[in-house]
Amino acid sequence: MEAGLEQLAEVEGTTALWLKKHRLVYTAATRHPFILSIRDGSIDLNSFKRWLGQDYLFVRAFVPFVSSVLLKAYHESDNNSDMEVFLSGLAALNDEIKWFKKEASKWGVVLSSIAPQKVNEDYCRFLESLMGPNVEYTVAITALWAIELVYQQSFAHCLEEASRTPPELAKTCQRWGNEGFGQYCRSLQKIADRRLLRATSEELKKAEATLLRVLEHEVEFWNMSQG
Ligand SMILES: Cc1ncc(CN)c(N)n1
């Protein structure tokens, strides 16, 4: 990193700098028309159901990814408490899978008969590419933080005062838009920033490229859901 940027990263955090630098794609991911349609109440419920079924499949693939980050933390982290953050994330995912099953039956979505769409498969394949032992902990935690952040920022937007989110979707928005999940995202960000400050320039390049890929995959995922 250049000398000036390095000082700024110490004050602001590398992740915040990257979000500013890549704000167009970040905004595309967190203020997507699919999310805006939840927020203004115009959401097509078939799109919502499509998202629900596809996201259930994504979350099933996300669990092993989070486990792989926990494993990397166990082997590579310079801070004992990192592992506990991921463990709490895994516990939340356990609840999330149960929630998806209940929500799906509420909406008449039969999860067992849903096939992943190509966009979803591509995203899950990307997750798998980050699970191997050759991928640095710093790169993997950057991806995990970005993936969670997109949902937190998107759904929190649907809970803001001016929003007209339909009441039957409020629980969905609260799942990722609540303060506890916001705190979890900040914990992930702190870990990522701590690691990025000590990363080699090669690792920094890989982590930034990974952040961009996550944001692009998230935009594609919303596009797919919207249909
Ligand atoms: C596609 C996607 N991105 C992020 C999340 C939040 N875990 C999710 N459930 N699905």
Q: Are the C-beta atoms of residues 127 and 146 closer than 8 Å to each other?
A: no
As for the ipTM of the complex, it is 0.98
pLDDT at 1: 59
- Ligand 1 atom at shortest distance from the alpha carbon of 221: 1
* Tens digit of each residue's pLDDT (9 = 90 or more) over 20-66: 999 999 999 999 999 999 999 999 999 999 999 999 999 999 999 99
Q: Is the CB of 147 under 6 A from ligand 1?
A: yes
Q: In this model, does residue 3 exceed pLDDT 60?
A: no
Please give the structure tokens belonging to residue 69. Answer: 């980050």
For the chain, give the mean pLDDT. Answer: 96
pTM given for the model: 0.96
Task: Place 5 in a pLDDT band, splitting at 50, 70 and 90.
Answer: low
How far, in Å, is the centroid of ligand 1 from the Cα of 108? 21
Residue nearest to atom 6 of ligand 1 (CA): 148
Instruction: Report the share of the chain in percent with pLDDT over 90.
Output: 94
Task: Place 110 in a pLDDT band, splitting at 50, 70 and 90.
Answer: very high
Q: Is the CB of 148 under 6 A from ligand 1?
A: yes
Query: Total domain count for the chain?
Result: 1
Residue nearest to atom 3 of ligand 1 (CA): 147
Structural domain including 96 reads 3-226
Q: Are the C-beta atoms of residues 151 and 31 closer than 8 Å to each other?
A: no
How far, in Å, is the centroid of ligand 1 from the Cα of 150? 8
* Tens digit of each residue's pLDDT (9 = 90 or more) over 131-181: 999 999 999 999 999 999 999 999 999 999 999 999 999 999 999 999 999
Task: Place 10 in a pLDDT band, splitting at 50, 70 and 90.
Answer: confident
How far, in Å, is the centroid of ligand 1 from the Cα of 148? 6
CATH number of the domain that residue 23 is part of: 1.20.910.10
Residue nearest to atom 10 of ligand 1 (CA): 55
DSSP 112: G
